[in-house]
């Protein structure tokens, strides 16, 4: 039986602004298991990106708690959260967040360089991943020299090298053409077979329908839809 890797209990997120307070969601409860491929859908502004940021421990909930790999993150210090994230969570941002002054392979290597791992081994791992994503021939190019699809492949390679159990992706195919989007999703399916847990926010209906199930966020509520299991 697959174990729970990510859990939200009675989660609430509100933002204050000049005209009052906006609540994106309240009393949100969710459990995501190891090896699940989950599509996060909903209208623009419904809170998809915010929820991913909460799961990534990059933001604090207004209420409730998030449990990552059996760790209650509410009681952790910022340093402890950083360590938990490094070991368990990889993030793929819509705008890639690649470091402009570093080459593609250097960007991919960065998560392990930060961990002070052996640079020769890191380089070998990065080369292997870039080859699997069919972008090894662009290894020594800078982000500005890469197409949008190539940049996204580098961002995905960077997420993969850390070998975390959880991968969070915010509109990973949003800026890509149809063919490249399908290739990226095929990679997600391969990762699922490796028992990776993947949650991706998307407006792409076809890709969302191919997930194990969809989580629809609207008006502060979340609903599980279309289980394929």
pLDDT in tens, 92-135: 887 778 999 999 999 999 989 888 889 999 999 999 989 988 88
Cβ distance 73 to 81 under 8 Å? Answer: yes
**Residue 156: which pLDDT band, with cuts at 50, 70 and 90?**
confident
Nearest-angstrom CA–CA distance, 149 and 221 = 33
Q: Which residues pair with 11 in a beta bridge?
A: 28
Cα four-point dihedral sign 46, 49, 54, 55: positive
**Residue 1: which pLDDT band, with cuts at 50, 70 and 90?**
low
DSSP 162-214: TT-SEEEEESTTTTS-HHHHHHHHHHHHHHHHTT-EEEEE---HHHHHTSSEE
DSSP annotation of 220 reads: B
pLDDT tens-place string over residues 8-40: 999 988 888 777 788 888 888 889 999 999 999
Relative to beta strand 63-68, strand 71-72 is antiparallel
Q: Model's pTM, two decimal places? A: 0.87
């Amino acid at each position: 039986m697959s174990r729970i890797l990510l859990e939200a209990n009675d989660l609430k997120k509100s933002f204050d602004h000049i005209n009052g307070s906006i609540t994106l969601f309240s009393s949100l409860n969710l459990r995501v298991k190891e090896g699940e491929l989950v599509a996060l859908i909903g209208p623009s502004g419904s809170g998809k990106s915010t929820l991913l940021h909460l799961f990534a421990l990059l933001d604090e909930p207004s209420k409730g708690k998030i449990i990552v790999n059996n760790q209650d993150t509410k009681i952790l210090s910022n340093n402890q959260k950083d360590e938990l994230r490094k070991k368990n969570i990889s993030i793929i941002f819509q705008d890639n967040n690649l470091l402009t002054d570093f080459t593609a392979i250097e960007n991919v290597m960065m998560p392990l360089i930060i961990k002070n791992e052996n640079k020769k081994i890191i380089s070998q791992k990065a080369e292997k991943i870039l080859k699997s994503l069919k972008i090894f021939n662009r290894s020594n190019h800078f982000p500005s020299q890469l197409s949008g699809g190539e940049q996204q492949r580098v961002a995905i390679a960077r997420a993969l090298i850390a070998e975390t159990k959880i991968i969070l992706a915010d509109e990973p195919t949003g800026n890509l053409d149809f063919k490249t989007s399908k290739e990226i999703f095929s990679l997600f399916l391969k990762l699922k077979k490796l028992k990776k847990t993947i949650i991706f926010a998307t407006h792409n209906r076809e890709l969302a329908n191919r997930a194990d199930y969809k989580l629809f966020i609207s008006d502060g509520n979340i609903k599980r839809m279309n289980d394929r299991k």
